[in-house]
Amino acid sequence: MDLSIIIPAYNETERLPASLRQIRTFLTSRPWNVEIIVVDDGSSDGTADAARAVDPTVRVIRHEQNRGKGAAVRTGMLAARGEWRYLCDADLSTPITELDHLLSYRDRADVILGSRRAAGAKIGKYQARWKVWLGQLGNLGIQLLVAPGIKDTQCGFKLWHQRTMRVFSLQQNNRWGYDFEDIYLARRAAWRIVEVPVVWNNDDRSKVRPLDYFTTLYELLTIHFHRWRGDYRSLRTPL
């Protein structure tokens, strides 16, 4: 398997079908052996059935209860079979065509991060101003505490090589903080990380709420607690 495309989804019957059609159309002109995995994180609106109806070849994994996006990402990554594993949001706010751009870096990195803040990124539609302000404040804390030098840990479009999957088995955060925790662990394990500018458009139907920014702050602070407790001890290099 060359590539796994992993889509965490929670109550996504409105957005997911169109995204799956775009992905399948894109893949028809690519020579890769690909699997698409939708992780239904306890949806109550028939997300799993909607995914199967659009594309019967999609592999659907369902959490019976909502556990959080981080938990869905961990489930998908560890269940995938591809050499490269592409995480993408259900709304495709970064178009699937950007995957070609990210894959062009695969010979020089183990983790390829789509970035809205790297030089050359193109934002077609911006978030609400309050989200931008909170995001900038959160990014400052993330850089200070866990990911110095990474301009955008929270963009939902990333490529991970199969050799890095130990990161996800050690991931502790089940909600929004999984992004910077996984990057923190990848860096501690000395995996090569590159940040790549992407095209990105805000979707007004985003499920991120103001309270989620404060939950993310809490998860940021817990990373060093998990390190102190030894939860990350079994990475390939000592912490």
The residue type at 39: V
Q: Which of 113, 42, 115, 37 is nearest to 76 (CA)?
A: 37
Kind of pairing between the strands at 59-63 and 34-41: parallel
Q: Please give the chain's pLDDT, 239 residues, in tens.
A: 799 999 999 999 999 999 999 999 999 999 999 999 999 999 999 999 999 999 999 999 999 999 999 999 999 999 999 999 999 999 999 999 999 999 999 999 999 999 999 999 998 876 666 566 776 777 777 888 888 999 999 899 999 999 999 999 999 999 888 999 999 999 999 999 999 999 998 776 666 665 666 777 888 889 989 999 999 988 865 44
The helix/strand/coil state of 206 is coil
Angle at 71 between CA 187 and CA 104, to 5 degrees: 45
Sign of CA dihedral 183, 185, 187, 191: negative
Domains and CATH numbers, the chain: 3-229 (3.90.550.10)
